[in-house]
Chains A and B, each alone.
Chain A
Amino acid sequence: MLELSKDVYDAIVAHARRDHPDEACGVVAGPAGSDKPERFIEMTNAERSPTFYRFDSMEQFQVWKEMDARDEEPVVIYHSHTATEAYPSRTDISLATEPGAHYVLVSTREPDTVEFRSFRIVDGEVTEEEIALV
C-alpha cells in the first residue's frame, strides 16, 4: 500500500501533464525507513523522449547526495507513459534498481482521465499495490 498526500499526488499529475508528450520523471523522498513520501522532487528527463526516460546523471547525483545528508531515501520513483497504460514496461522492469521503492506510473494518454498506479518491482516481479490518499 502506498500512502500519499493529495498535494504530492497533484504535483506528480501536474508534472506529467506539463511534460506531455514527453515522459516526465521524478522522486518523492522521505525519512529513511519511514515509507512516507514527503519531499516532491521533479527530475529532468535527460532523454526528453515520449518513449523513454532517464534521470539526468548530474542532477541525480546532487539529489542523492542531498537525500543522504538528510537521512532520506527515494520512497517513490515516478514516471509517465504518454501513449500507453500506467503499467511498467519491459524496460521499466529490467532497469528497476530500488526494491524498496514504490514505482508510480501515470498515463497521460487521455487528456481528461488520470491513470495513476503504484507498483513494487523486485527481481523482475511486478506487484501492483493500493494507493491511499491521506
Chain B
Amino acid sequence: MAIEVRIPTILRTYTGGEKAVDGKGETLEDLFADLDTRHDGLRARLVGDDGSLQRFVNVYLNDEDVRFLGGIATPVSDGDVVTILPAVAGG
C-alpha cells in the first residue's frame, strides 16, 4: 500500500504526464519530500521557502482541505488519497 497523489495538468511535467503517482511518508511534508526524489522539482511547486504550503496551491487529504487539518504537518497513512489542485484566483 502507498499514498496516491493526484497531480493536476499544470504539474504533470514533473511526473512524465502521469495523472497520479504513489508516495510514502508519515506527514504531507514527508510525502512531498519522497515524491521529490523521483519527481525532481515538484516539491518546490507545493511548498514555499518558509516550509509551509504555497498560498495558491490547494491540497486535499481524501475529502478535506489540509489547510483545515494540519497544513504541511498533516499526518497521512497508506491508502490515503492526496489531491493537488492549483487555486483558481486572480485580481
Chain A positions near chain B (C-beta within 8 angstroms): 25, 27, 43, 47, 51-55, 57-58, 60-61, 64, 77, 79, 88-92, 95-100
Contacts and interface: CB of A to CB of B under 8 A. Distances in A.
Contact of B89 (A54, A90, A99): A54
21 contacts: A51-B91, A52-B89, A52-B90, A53-B89, A54-B87, A55-B87, A57-B58, A57-B67, A61-B60, A61-B63, A61-B65, A61-B83, A64-B85, A89-B90, A89-B91, A90-B91, A92-B91, A97-B8, A97-B86, A98-B10, A99-B10
Given A58-B65, A61-B65, A61-B83, A95 B89 contact: yes
A64 B91 CA distance: 22
Contacts of A100: 9
